[in-house]
Amino acid sequence: MAGLGVSGSALPGVRDRRENSEIGAQLHELISELYPISRSLTGDGVRETLRRLGELIPLEVHEVPSGTPAFDWTIPKEWNIRDAYIEDPSGRRVVSFADSNLHVMGYSVPVRRRMPLEELREHLFTLPEHPEWIPYRTSYYEENWGFCLAHAQLERLPQGDYEVCIDSTLGDGYLSYGECVLAGQQPDEILISTHVCHPSLCNDNLSGVAIASLLARALSSIEHRYTYRFLFIPGTIGSITWLSRNEETAALIKHGLVLTCAGDEGSSTYKRSRRGDAEIDQAMEYVLASSGQPFAIEDFSPWGYDERQYCSPGFNLPVGCLMRTPHGRFPEYHTSADGLELVTPRALADTFGKCLATFELLERNGVYVTLNPKCEPQLGKRGLYGAIGGEPDKRLAQMAILWVLNLSDGGHSLLDIALRSGLPFETIASAASRLLEHELLRRLEAPLRTQSA
Ligand code: ZN
């Protein structure tokens, strides 16, 4: 069984082209399969999504009853919808839920009425600036109902009385979320969290759902040091619910990523954890910088996705957010144009590879202590002097050994040493392995924190 990062696997994340195109196709296919399902904060669409993911990965589904407190929040009522439509004065069905689940505002209460267009208009949402697109709207915490449609269609609706039907239920039920835990050699955890509450929208956020699922599948067949915990949860209330039920487990999370908007053709964007200098921040930035592609790093702000909850002061977990084009900065965001064409196999595979490269780096990173702190050990008599690797790599490997010996004082991780020396992490990690073999280093098993170099 292969181990994550134990062999000389390519860091940071440049995998071979054939493998990338295969994973890209699989990610896009999974998105296409999940796309028609009518998801919301709660309800059967989320269950159906989790059931499908459960065929790919070991997934435990939790059901939390409506009314359950979660810190300052309460688990909402469960919402389900069978059908919805608007019929014009001639009885023609002009808007139908069957055509797009975006047509109904999420959490719309049941309605069956006849009303004039003027009254109906108060419940119709459009995007005048993109007249052909259907907007995505919800009203989770305020009882209301509404339809979303293309602005061009609204403008064509004739005056008169309309038949309006929303065949939904909103009542006591459950909030469903999925959890996949892959036990590692140690209890310390890496958290990957993604939201599953959006209906037919791809970048936000079936991209995150698909990438997290296939990451879990990939990690389930290889050995790893960390325990990996994947959460598939409704946005905001899901992470609040999980944290309120898992305070002890949360303390084991050493690194975390929220995955969202991860499949468009824009360049990668990483939003740092609230701590700003956590090991995940350092590792993610290293992987993006080493990718040779454009990327952006943003500081934490309490606006965005579930990182807001993981990074609330009572938890302050080292959880960042990996995206491509951030939410709200692509015009298709929260509209029907966030469809299957906006996410590409290439971009999905690229984000997937960067996640895997970051995990590999975290797996191999660590803090070591030299067992020979007073002056350099004599490398020549151990065959470690000028005798490593092929000719072009010799000097780098030699420098890496000297850097690792010098900075392994218990206060620098291998990544710190890579950054300070300017040498590739892979070279530094290989040097540390050699020094371990020669009993010149000892690994500090539980480094309290990673210092910047
Ligand atoms: Zn969203």
Q: What is the pLDDT of residues 213-243, one digit of tens each?
A: 999 999 999 999 999 999 999 999 999 999 9
Compute the distance from residue 381 Cα to the ligand 1 centre, in Å: 61
Compute the distance from residue 140 Cα to the ligand 1 centre, in Å: 13
* The residue to which tokens 């309800």 are assigned: 43
Compute the distance from residue 337 Cα to the ligand 1 centre, in Å: 13
Compute the distance from residue 449 Cα to the ligand 1 centre, in Å: 34
| pLDDT reading at 359 higher than 80 | yes
Q: What is the pLDDT of residues 281-335, one digit of tens each?
A: 999 999 999 999 999 999 999 999 999 999 999 999 999 999 999 999 999 999 9
Compute the distance from residue 137 Cα to the ligand 1 centre, in Å: 10
Compute the distance from residue 201 Cα to the ligand 1 centre, in Å: 9
Name the residue among 307, 227, 220, 235 with its Cα closest to residue 272: 307
Cα 334-148-171 angle, rounded to 5 deg? 90
Are residues 108 and 168 in contact, defined by beta-carbon separation less than 8 angstroms?
yes
Compute the distance from residue 142 Cα to the ligand 1 centre, in Å: 18
| pLDDT reading at 261 higher than 50 | yes
Compute the distance from residue 29 Cα to the ligand 1 centre, in Å: 21
What single DSSP character describes residue 299? -
Between 3.40.1670.10, 3.40.50.1220, 3.40.630.10, 3.40.1190.10, what CATH number should domain 17-75+174-364 receive?
Answer: 3.40.630.10
Name the residue among 411, 416, 415, 407 with its Cα closest to residue 435: 407
Higher-scoring residue by pLDDT: 392, 54 = 54
| pLDDT reading at 1 higher than 60 | no
Give pLDDT, residue 383: 87
* 191 contact partners, CB below 8 Å, separation of at least 6: 229, 231, 253, 255, 256, 257, 310, 317, 319
Residue 18: pLDDT band (50, 70, 90) is confident
Q: What residue segments make up the domains of the chain, in order of their start?
A: 17-75+174-364, 78-171, 367-444
Compute the distance from residue 428 Cα to the ligand 1 centre, in Å: 40
Compute the distance from residue 280 Cα to the ligand 1 centre, in Å: 24
CB atoms within 10 A of CB 7: 8
| pLDDT reading at 82 higher than 90 | yes
Compute the distance from residue 45 Cα to the ligand 1 centre, in Å: 16
Compute the distance from residue 199 Cα to the ligand 1 centre, in Å: 10
Compute the distance from residue 440 Cα to the ligand 1 centre, in Å: 51
Compute the distance from residue 207 Cα to the ligand 1 centre, in Å: 12
**Integer Cα distance of 304 and 274 in angstroms:** 12
Compute the distance from residue 408 Cα to the ligand 1 centre, in Å: 44
Strand partners, 144: 108
Compute the distance from residue 150 Cα to the ligand 1 centre, in Å: 19
Compute the distance from residue 198 Cα to the ligand 1 centre, in Å: 7
The DSSP secondary structure of 433-444, one letter per residue, reads: HHHHHTT-EEEE
> CA 335 from chain center: how many Å?
20
Give pLDDT, residue 451: 42
Compute the distance from residue 339 Cα to the ligand 1 centre, in Å: 13
* Top-tier CATH class for 78-171: alpha beta
Q: What's the chain's length in residues?
A: 453
Compute the distance from residue 334 Cα to the ligand 1 centre, in Å: 6
Compute the distance from residue 245 Cα to the ligand 1 centre, in Å: 24
Query: What CATH number is given for 367-444 in this structure?
Result: 1.10.10.10
Instruction: Report pTM.
Output: 0.94
Give pLDDT, residue 8: 38
Give the sheet arrangement for strand 268-271, strand by strand: 60-65, 174-182, 227-233, 189-195, 253-259, 319-323, 268-271, 295-298
| pLDDT reading at 9 higher than 50 | no
The DSSP secondary structure of 65-121, one letter per residue, reads: ETT-EETTEE---EEEEEEEEEE-TTS-EEEETTT-GGGB-BTBPPEEEEEEHHHHG
Compute the distance from residue 304 Cα to the ligand 1 centre, in Å: 9
What values do phi and psi take at 434, rounded to 5?
Answer: -60, -45
Compute the distance from residue 336 Cα to the ligand 1 centre, in Å: 12
